[in-house]
Chain A
């Protein structure tokens, strides 16, 4: 087992270099650079732009820029943001933490809700409840999250117009005067702001995951050993949870590794629409501005987490599924 883990880690090294170089190259393939925006400013002279380009190192060949950046990476320095004139980690970290306020509750909620729904749908297949849940799931799957967020804002505003009170805030993470609040009030305030974004961010994923769970469960329930279990007279509850459910969740263990990078990659467009100060709007800005090292640095962190996450999933899989052995 130890040998297997070592071998896996060894494999990660070429993957890491290949992936970072590819990412770096693709960002650079986009036309223009961070300073192109400045070129349409009637006040800025071409000499100034050329000077800044040299200062930022953007006038050097791509491989040279990549090697310099790699050298920094090996010293655990993700690079420097052009737009913020500050180290990348320093500017992205607070956003990642803000995103986690949505991502962590949303992920927990997802598994807590989606798995029981999936199981219910499989056990009571084609019942009225299953049909209603399936219907809702298809709606959830087909409505993009940014649109769901806009609908949520619309509903909140309409309620405000009718009753005069805003049940949940329409945007942001904290209320004004947040700094003056005592710590407990601060936590409650953030929680109050997080309710709608968390629900919106979860809605889509619940739909997908519950359908997947339902399918897995149905497949397992059709297996011979379930019939055997029933035939030997086990209680239905024991059949479902001890024999069927345990086997049906195995594929989900493989997806747990993917949670690690998604922990930092933000909650998606909900953050943009609801003005949540997370990583998504920030990263989109960086892409629009071609803030090279912010994009590359963030991709690298995600990449490393993804690689570690995959390794962990594989190990977990071996642990829960006796059919899988690594030698």
Chain B
């Protein structure tokens, strides 16, 4: 089933499960049968960075405490086996004929951990606070489409309506935000406004005062050391497995804060933590060796999928002070030649130890549904690169062996990446070597991250860089093109920040982006996405390189992981609710 059928699925849900009070976690999300499951026990994991707040409205980092305890799910969630939106805290939805309104029927019988019922008011209050500018919530921007607000309206206690200013491919993603208790935040917000909200639920708050509607409650938190979560019994009343057992199975979920990846590896090898995702070849081989020599009873899935991020080289089209370079960087022949000089296989072999994936388009390789397989790829081919450069007039070489044009101007540019990112620095060096072989002089420099971002995001007709290697991550599964990246006025339209489209194909991409964003039919949206990738391939606004793969590992005391088919950097290795301790 593809997401094209998401609307139909909604109708089925309306007809079929309208009376259901519980959400049944499908058997196909785990390899374990309900009969082999054991209850109780503690899952032990580690994270790199410490938590900063318990407050859902000011949290800014990924995998924050509010995300953990709420499960980061709302009225709807995705089915990892299909990617479709399915009703979760809602039991069904209806869509208005003009497709601008979605009305959700909220599941009855759900309760907060303090026993109060979860109702429409909780969503309304949560949305109000997120969209208060003075609060500074990270979700603020998600409630606007092109600057126009999405509004929520309470119809009754168990019915809520989302009203969109235009049709939106991300409509369900908007509705998937986690609700927070209105009876806790509401009175403070009414009395003290945004300032009152910001002072709530700091890390010093007593754990028993943190109310959750999700799978976990905070048991204890020791700064810089450990967060311990315990099962929320109220959650188990409406979340069950197919045999009717309340979820999660685990009693506790313990997260150690270990700032050094080597120390995390040591903890995993010593059997002190259960989950680990080795990112370097060295770590992978250490885990593998420990498993093979019987020192560690664990499972390692090498190359489970590519990671959901991109890595690319971008040329600056706005160099008014240097017309020679500007016209060069604006030429697609030049950029194609540069793509032919990126030795992606060497990058994968040297930088990622053979465990990586080449990239050719703005769609992350892991989003297989979206990748247009027919798009031309400008693979590593120095001969072709030399030919293209010759067509641009670079036929002769100077005494140092670098290409020059008829006026004697040398083919030379600067390339930068952020200092301290060893993998990117290695990629840059590989490129410099390959470029030198055909006579292109590339001066590589690793500079401070913030300086680099400053250069990259500067705007106007004359910007202070030639080429930069950088990456992006994040984005939507419903419409995987960046809202800040593709439109010519976008803040992350990194190659051209003159404020307007310079190439007709940029205009085309800009228009297709908006069309896709408002197209509700998944198949049609994929078609638009395919078309965009074709244009991108011709234009090559940025040159994609390669990225590492995702290699999850877990200690075999854990059961209930995803079936192999859905273990990926998007869905992860397991649903924690369905995870259990075998021994």
| Of the residues B136, B257, B262, B263, contact of A52 by C-beta under 8 Å | B136
Bound-state CA distance A90–B290 (Å) is: 42
Interface flag for B203 (CB, 8 Å): yes
Given contacts A86-B202, A90-B204, contact A51 B133 (CB under 8 A): yes
Interface flag for B189 (CB, 8 Å): no
| Of the residues B49, B53, B219, B256, contact of A85 by C-beta under 8 Å | B53
| Of the residues A84, A161, A179, A275, contact of B257 by C-beta under 8 Å | A275
- Residues of B with C-beta under 8 A to A95: 223-224
Selecting from A8-16, A165-173, A224-232, A240-248, the interface stretch reads: A165-173
- Residues of A with C-beta under 8 A to B204: 86, 90
Chain A 232-267 residues near chain B, CB threshold 8 A: none
| Of the residues B202, B266, B483, contact of A170 by C-beta under 8 Å | B266
Chain B 253-301 residues near chain A, CB threshold 8 A: 254, 256-260, 262-263, 266-267, 269-270, 272, 290, 295
User: Is the pair A40, B492 in contact by a Cβ cutoff of 8 Å?
Assistant: yes
Chain B 239-261 residues near chain A, CB threshold 8 A: 254, 256-260
Number of interchain pairs (Cβ within 8 Å): 152
Chain B 185-203 residues near chain A, CB threshold 8 A: 198, 202-203
Given contacts A43-B142, A170-B272, A275-B257, contact A30 B474 (CB under 8 A): no
Bound-state CA distance A30–B451 (Å) is: 9
Interface flag for A317 (CB, 8 Å): no
- Residues of A with C-beta under 8 A to B272: 166, 169-170
Bound-state CA distance A48–B491 (Å) is: 12
User: Is the pair A174, B225 in contact by a Cβ cutoff of 8 Å?
Assistant: yes
Bound-state CA distance A44–B223 (Å) is: 29
Interface flag for B453 (CB, 8 Å): yes
User: Is the pair A173, B225 in contact by a Cβ cutoff of 8 Å?
Assistant: yes
User: Is the pair A39, B141 in contact by a Cβ cutoff of 8 Å?
Assistant: no
Q: How far is the CB of A295 from chain B (nearest CB, A)?
A: 15
| Of the residues A32, A84, A176, A272, contact of B454 by C-beta under 8 Å | A32
Interface flag for B50 (CB, 8 Å): yes
Range, interface on chain A: 35 or more
Bound-state CA distance A173–B222 (Å) is: 10
User: Is the pair B49, A285 in contact by a Cβ cutoff of 8 Å?
Assistant: yes
Highest count of chain B CB atoms <10 Å: which of A36, A42, A44, A282: A42
Bound-state CA distance A23–B91 (Å) is: 57
Q: How far is the CB of A21 from chain B (nearest CB, A)?
A: 22
User: Is the pair B52, A84 in contact by a Cβ cutoff of 8 Å?
Assistant: yes
| Of the residues A98, A171, A173, contact of B263 by C-beta under 8 Å | A171
Bound-state CA distance A30–B419 (Å) is: 14
User: Nearest B residue to A271 by beta-carbon distance?
Assistant: B259
Given contacts A36-B453, A86-B202, A174-B222, contact A179 B228 (CB under 8 A): yes
Interface flag for A303 (CB, 8 Å): no
User: Is the pair B454, A91 in contact by a Cβ cutoff of 8 Å?
Assistant: no
Chain A 148-192 residues near chain B, CB threshold 8 A: 150, 153, 156-157, 160-161, 166, 169-174, 176, 178-179
| Of the residues A32, A156, A282, contact of B224 by C-beta under 8 Å | A282
Interface flag for B58 (CB, 8 Å): yes
Bound-state CA distance A98–B223 (Å) is: 10
- Residues of B with C-beta under 8 A to A94: 223-224
| Of the residues B60, B222, B257, B485, contact of A42 by C-beta under 8 Å | B485
Bound-state CA distance A323–B259 (Å) is: 50
Chain A 1-55 residues near chain B, CB threshold 8 A: 30-33, 36, 38-46, 48, 51-52, 55
Give per-residue flags for A264-286: 1 if the beta carbon is below 8 A from chain B beta carbons, else 0.
00000000111101100110010
User: Is the pair A84, B259 in contact by a Cβ cutoff of 8 Å?
Assistant: no
Bound-state CA distance A178–B202 (Å) is: 22
User: Is the pair A160, B222 in contact by a Cβ cutoff of 8 Å?
Assistant: no
Chain A 37-87 residues near chain B, CB threshold 8 A: 38-46, 48, 51-52, 55, 83-86
Given contacts A40-B492, A176-B44, contact A30 B450 (CB under 8 A): yes
User: Is the pair B203, A84 in contact by a Cβ cutoff of 8 Å?
Assistant: yes
Bound-state CA distance A61–B454 (Å) is: 19
User: Is the pair A170, B224 in contact by a Cβ cutoff of 8 Å?
Assistant: no
User: Nearest B residue to A284 by beta-carbon distance?
Assistant: B259
- Residues of B with C-beta under 8 A to A153: 262-263, 266
Given contacts A41-B474, A51-B133, A86-B202, contact A277 B225 (CB under 8 A): yes
Interface flag for B166 (CB, 8 Å): no
Interface flag for B55 (CB, 8 Å): yes
User: Nearest A residue to B475 by beta-carbon distance?
Assistant: A42
Bound-state CA distance A94–B262 (Å) is: 25
User: Nearest B residue to A275 by beta-carbon distance?
Assistant: B258
- Residues of A with C-beta under 8 A to B492: 40, 42
User: Is the pair B136, A51 in contact by a Cβ cutoff of 8 Å?
Assistant: yes
Bound-state CA distance A38–B202 (Å) is: 22
Interface flag for B448 (CB, 8 Å): yes
Interface flag for B457 (CB, 8 Å): yes
- Residues of B with C-beta under 8 A to A278: 224
Interface flag for B500 (CB, 8 Å): no
User: Nearest A residue to B137 by beta-carbon distance?
Assistant: A48
Interface flag for B220 (CB, 8 Å): yes
Interface flag for B472 (CB, 8 Å): yes
| Of the residues A36, A86, A161, A172, contact of B256 by C-beta under 8 Å | A172
- Residues of A with C-beta under 8 A to B260: 272-273, 275
User: Is the pair B457, A273 in contact by a Cβ cutoff of 8 Å?
Assistant: no
Given contacts A36-B454, A55-B136, contact A275 B263 (CB under 8 A): yes
The 5 A-B residue pairs whose C-beta atoms are closest, nearest first, are: A32-B450, A277-B224, A42-B482, A277-B225, A275-B258
Knowing that A42-B482, A51-B136, A273-B263 touch, tell me 5 more A-B residue pairs with CB under 8 angstroms.
A83-B52, A85-B52, A153-B262, A174-B226, A285-B259
Q: Sample 15 A-B pairs with CB under 8 A, ordered by A number.
A: A31-B451, A31-B454, A43-B475, A43-B484, A85-B202, A86-B53, A94-B223, A95-B224, A171-B266, A172-B225, A176-B44, A179-B220, A277-B50, A281-B224, A282-B50
